[in-house]
Amino acid sequence: MDNIDNSSGSKGLTDGFGRSFPYLRLSITDVCNFRCDYCLPNGYQGCKKADFLSIDEIKRLVNVFAELGTNKIRITGGEPTVRKDFTKIAQLISSHSSISTTAFTTNGYRLAQNAKIWRNAGIDNINISIDSLNKERFFQITGHDRLSEILKGIDAAINVGFEKVKINVVLLKGVNDGEVNDYLSWAKSSPISIRFIELMQTGDNQQYFQKYHTSAITISDELIKTGWTLRKRNFNAGPAQEYIHKDYQGSVGIISPYSKDFCKSCNRLRITSNGDLRLCLFGSQGVSLRHLLQSDEQKHLLIKLISSQLAFKCSSHFLALGDTGITPNLASIGG
Ligand code: SF4
C-alpha cells in the first residue's frame, strides 16, 4: 500500500512482516444497549456486571503500550459510553503525554447531551454508527427509534470542535446500499467523513452475512469516476481508503476487509474488555494480560509478554476461507 504516510511512525512494536503498531483499540465493555442485526440481533446476552477492566488496570495498559510506541488509542465496546466512568477513562488516556490521538466509537445515544464534556475530556476523534438515514430502516437495523436524537448529537459534535467526526455505515445489500447518494449529499454540506464498511462475517452471523454482504469496491469505483481522489493515509490511521473531492466539505472512506492486501498495512492491536491481547480482529487466539495489570511493579513482565506475542501475528485474516477466529460478534472485541 504505497499511500501510507510513515513519516512520523515510531518503531515500537513490530511483527514478522515488518508492520508496526502505533494504534491500539481498547474495549472497555462488551455491553451494548442497541441490538444491531449484524452484531447483537438479540441484544446483549452477557452479564451487565461482568468484571470489565478497572481504571487502574486501564492506566497500567496505557502506560505500557505508550512505552511500546502506541500513540493512538480508540476506546471501543460494546457501547463504551454505557460505562459511568467513560469520561474519566477518556481523560486518563488523553492526558498521557505519548498518546497524540484519543478516539472512540459510539452508537451515539448519549452524544447530544455529552459532546462538550467528552471533547473537554480530551477526545480528538469520534466515530458514530449510523447504518441508515431513513428513520424506519434505522429502527429495523438497530432496534432503536433514535435516529433524530443521534443526528442532533452529531451536530453537537461538529459544533464543539472534535477534530474528526466520522459516520460508520455497515453496507447491507438491499437494505441501505441504496442510500449511498444520501450520505454523499450529507458529506457535501458537512465536515464529516462517511465510512462505508463492508459487512464482516463473525462466528454468530453467518446466515446474515451470506444474505446481506456486498462489496464496497463498487462505491470506490464510482467515486473515482466522479472526480474523487484518494488521500494519503496517516501511519496510525484506521484501515479506510479515504477519498476527497474539491466540491465537498466532507470525505468518504471505504473499508473493504475482503479486498486484496487489506491486511498488508495492519497497524493495530486490540485489548478486550476483560484484558485479553488480540493480535487480529479475526485471530484464533488471545492472551490474557490481566494477571500482570495488578501492580505497577509488574510493568516489565507486561512489556515482555506483549512484545513476545507479536511473533505470533499472522500476515492476514482468513475470512475468505470462512475462518472468523474466536470472534462471535464485533461487540465482544470492540470491532
Ligand atoms: S483483519 Fe487482522 S490482520 Fe487484517 S487488518 Fe484487521 S486486525 Fe490486521
Nearest-atom index, ligand 1, CA of 257: 1
Is the C-beta atom of 319 inside 6 A of ligand 1? Answer: no
Please report which confidence band the pLDDT of residue 48 belongs to, taking 50, 70 and 90 as the band edges: low
Q: Which residues pair with 170 in a beta bridge?
A: 197
Which of 123, 127, 177 lies closest to 154 in space, CA to CA?
Answer: 127
Kindly list the structural domains of the chain, giving each domain's residue range(s) and its CATH number in brackets, ordered by start: 4-332 (3.20.20.70)
What's the CA gap between 100 and 95, in Å, rounded?
A: 9
Phi, psi (degrees; rounded to nearest 5) at 163: -65, -45
CB 36 within 8 A of CB 142: yes
Extended beta strands in 77-153, E state: 101-106, 125-129
H or E, element range at 230: strand 229-230
Torsion of CA 25, 27, 33, 34, to 10 degrees: 30
Nearest-atom index, ligand 1, CA of 319: 1
Which of 242, 244, 326 lies closest to 283 in space, CA to CA?
Answer: 326
pLDDT digits (tens, 9 = 90+) for 99-155: 999 999 999 999 999 999 999 999 999 999 999 999 999 999 999 999 999 999 999
Compute the residue count for the chain.
335
Ligand 1: residue whose CA is nearest its atom 1: 317
CB 26 within 8 A of CB 75: yes
Name residue 252's amino acid. V
Is the C-beta atom of 23 inside 6 A of ligand 1? Answer: no
CB 85 within 8 A of CB 52: no
Which of 146, 149, 214 lies closest to 175 in space, CA to CA?
Answer: 214
Is the C-beta atom of 316 inside 6 A of ligand 1? Answer: yes
Please report which confidence band the pLDDT of residue 235 belongs to, taking 50, 70 and 90 as the band edges: confident
pLDDT digits (tens, 9 = 90+) for 154-180: 999 999 999 999 999 999 999 999 999
Is the C-beta atom of 266 inside 6 A of ligand 1? Answer: yes
The position carrying cell 458537512 is: 190
The position carrying cell 490511521 is: 237
As a whole number, the mean pLDDT across the chain is 94
Q: Does 5 score more than 50 pLDDT?
A: no
3-class SS of residue 119 = helix
Q: Which residue has better confidence, 305 or 236?
A: 305
Is the C-beta atom of 25 inside 6 A of ligand 1? Answer: no
What's the CA gap between 270 and 73, in Å, rounded?
A: 10
What's the CA gap between 274 and 52, in Å, rounded?
A: 5
pLDDT digits (tens, 9 = 90+) for 73-99: 999 999 999 999 999 999 999 999 999
- Cα 143 to chain centroid distance, Å, stands at 21
Exposed/middle/buried for 181, CB within 10 Å: 0-12, 13-18, 19+?
A: exposed
**CA 50 / ligand 1 centre spacing (Å):** 27
C-alpha cell at 264: 498488508
Which of 15, 16, 44, 14 lies closest to 30 in space, CA to CA?
Answer: 44
3-class SS of residue 234 = strand
Q: What was the pLDDT predicted at 9? A: 47
The packing angle between helices 86-94 and 111-120, to 10°, is: 30
Q: Does 236 score more than 90 pLDDT?
A: no
**CA 281 / ligand 1 centre spacing (Å):** 6
Q: Does 4 score more than 60 pLDDT?
A: no
- DSSP class of residue 17 equals T
The position carrying cell 476461507 is: 321
For the residues 278-295, what does the mean pLDDT come to?
Answer: 96
What's the CA gap between 274 and 204, in Å, rounded?
A: 20
- DSSP class of residue 168 equals E
For the residues 284-303, what does the mean pLDDT come to?
Answer: 96
pLDDT digits (tens, 9 = 90+) for 190-224: 999 999 999 999 999 999 999 999 999 999 999 99
3-class SS of residue 34 = coil
